[in-house]
A and B are shown apart, each in its own frame.
Chain A
């Protein structure tokens, strides 16, 4: 393309980008700026008092808020328990399914279903299965002579249930990304390892894992960002309870904003959550999303 031509095209990127940028201003940028503003105010919607500018007081109070720290801890616990398990299951099933046999395509499609299921339906179904009197899981436990348990009635087991629900729903996500990665792996790599007399675990360690590393990193980061904003499935399953047993960050923000109507305080938390996910997204971009030559 000649230089002149390039110049002539100068106004057009704006033409194509403008609608998206304008929409982003309305639904993303303005709300974020507004939330930042709100976070500097003490503003309770149900109290008769007017909003008061308190600058960083909400943030300072956050540091002193035990429930906030416990929500943060539970959030990270969630990330550190659920995601590694999802990765390991997804990884081994990807290796298992990476062979041709009759019906393998149907099996793979079926595994995708949980990922696309409504999160609330997943949460509701698990809470059904965990019901003490008629739940499916308790039925099977009673078959092997175990006592029926009200899993969702205790903070510890409710938290475990929330994690298991997520593992059930999202390991296939890991599976499908890793499976896609595996299917692009050159056969020669594996064959060379076999000729060298590598056993299964050596093959994993020296060939498969290094080859899949970029995919693994990306899958972990995507899931982490996802896990940081988990809401609906937990909301319908436990509502954050019992006590505050499953009160993850999003649920605590929701509680502060829409049950206690502490808009300023909730906004401060919302901003912290945004910043955390932006930091994670930066890692994601650095490691996984390369815009590449064609976009330069």
Chain B
């Protein structure tokens, strides 16, 4: 076989793999534009395009409140984690102090602690503080995985900045805090954006804490999506429409942040 023919075959193979990989996502999206009756018919190719599921989902107060809660929890926990995490990351990379390695590795380690293990004591704590089903306590829970993640993701960003920058700033009479805010924060801003986006996605996808720590008021969108499954008659149309809407952030980041995604994944994946 000549080289060109071989190449063509390999390219076709690559396309095939991607198409097969996309099937489950296409199934969700196509179900979201179908009537339930067509979803329950045995052929996946029935076409009766409708926006009914979207309309009923967007009219559903529970789902809208879920989205609102998800947004609040994700935005606040990510913003807080990025600020606090950036400070810590800066402290670790730019200073010498005793026990530094221990501190740095402890933060990495804590990112790897299984959520269910923290969920049990958190449930008991929030229960005794009357903070179950509360957006604030859910945000706290999300901070437990977002802060370590941000710190670890930002370490290389801070480390990459040459010492001369801060020395020059010091000569100009900049104080320690000012150096951080005025010199470093703008320089690591790509890292800040990436860590914010990844934290956001982790919170957005998070299900376990929401399942255990919330009930009605603080319920997040993934729980509402799951509830469409129902006890007896699954509402696949609504489920798919809501699920497709929730996919939008994933679409946006995979298309825009490709360059940074590897760094983000190496800092410990994106699972909520």
> Which residues of A pack against B, CB within 8 Å?
1, 6, 9-10, 12-17, 19-21, 23-24, 26-28, 30-32, 34-35, 38, 93, 96-97, 99, 101, 103-105, 107-122, 124-126, 128-129, 133-134, 136, 138-139, 142, 168, 172-173, 176-177, 180, 218, 222-223, 225-226, 228-229, 231-232, 235-236, 250, 253-254, 257-258, 263, 266-267, 270-271, 273-274, 277-278, 280-282, 284-285, 289, 291-292, 294-296
Interface string of B116-134 (1 = CB under 8 A from A): 1111111111000000000
Are B25 and A113 neighbours in the complex by a CB distance under 8 Å? yes
Interface residues in B3-19 (C-beta closer than 8 Å to A): 7, 10-11, 13-15, 17-18
Q: A109-B254, A120-B225, A124-B243 are in contact. Are A231 and B115 (CB under 8 A)?
A: yes
* Contact between B95 and A13, CB atoms less than 8 A apart: yes
Highest count of chain A CB atoms <10 Å: which of B14, B83, B143: B14
- A285 close to B105 (CB less than 8 A): yes
Beyond A20-B147, A119-B271, A125-B27, whether A28 also contacts B110 by CB under 8 A is yes
The interface residues of chain A lying within 8 Å CB-to-CB of B40 are 133-134
**Closest 4 A-B residue pairs measured CB to CB?**
A16-B91, A229-B114, A20-B88, A270-B117
Instruction: Report Cα–Cα, A172/B262, bound state, in Å.
Output: 11
Whether B196 is near chain A, meaning CB under 8 Å from some CB there, is: no
Taking the closest CB of chain B, its distance from the CB of A273, in whole angstroms, is 5
| Chain A to chain B contacts (Cβ below 8 Å), 27 pairs | A1-B167, A17-B91, A17-B92, A20-B88, A24-B147, A28-B110, A116-B201, A116-B205, A116-B250, A117-B205, A119-B205, A119-B271, A121-B247, A125-B24, A125-B243, A168-B24, A226-B269, A232-B222, A250-B114, A250-B116, A266-B120, A267-B121, A273-B117, A282-B109, A285-B109, A291-B101, A294-B93
Contact-size category for B: 35 or more
Report the minimal beta-carbon distance from B88 to chain A, rounded to whole angstroms.
4
| Minimal beta-carbon separation of A267 from chain B (angstroms) | 5
Known: A13-B91, A16-B91, A111-B18. A124 touches B226 (CB 8 A): yes
> Restricting to B200-258, which residues have a CB under 8 Å from any CB of A?
201, 204-205, 207-208, 211-212, 222, 225-226, 229, 234, 236, 239, 243, 246-247, 249-251, 253-255, 258
